[in-house]
Amino acid sequence: MAPIEKLAAKLKRLRKRSGLTQEQLADAAGISRTYLSRLETAMHDPTVGVVERLAKALKVKPTDLLK
């Protein structure tokens, strides 16, 4: 599995574990739901800033998304 696919799977797993919809997480992270969907399907690589915002919205460390 490629690193971007691992990140995508981890992001989706953490979002679901948090009980958030894509729309709720996207709003909390300040990104569009479409962009979040593309991240969760490994269609886009997030910037470091987006990883930080997603981690904050999920209440995890940015490194938790990258492990």
**64 inside domain:** no
Return d(Cα 21, Cα 63) in angstroms, integer: 22
**66 inside domain:** no
pLDDT reported for residue 1: 86
Distances (CA, A) of 14 to 2, 66: 18, 12
The structure tokens 């894509």 sit at 22
Q: How confident is the model at residue 67 (pLDDT cuts 50, 70, 90)?
A: confident
The CATH number given to whatever domain includes residue 8 is 1.10.260.40
Chain-centroid distance of CA 49 in Å reads: 11
**25 inside domain:** yes
Residue 44 has pLDDT above 90, yes or no: yes
In the chain, the percentage of residues whose pLDDT exceeds 70 is: 100
pLDDT reported for residue 60: 97
Whole-model pTM above 0.75? yes
State which residues form the domain around 25: 3-58
| Average pLDDT estimate for 12-19 | 97
What is the dihedral sign for C-alpha 51, 56, 59, 64? positive
Nearest CA to 5 out of 35, 50, 33, 41 is that of: 41
Question: How many distinct structural domains can be found in the chain?
Answer: 1
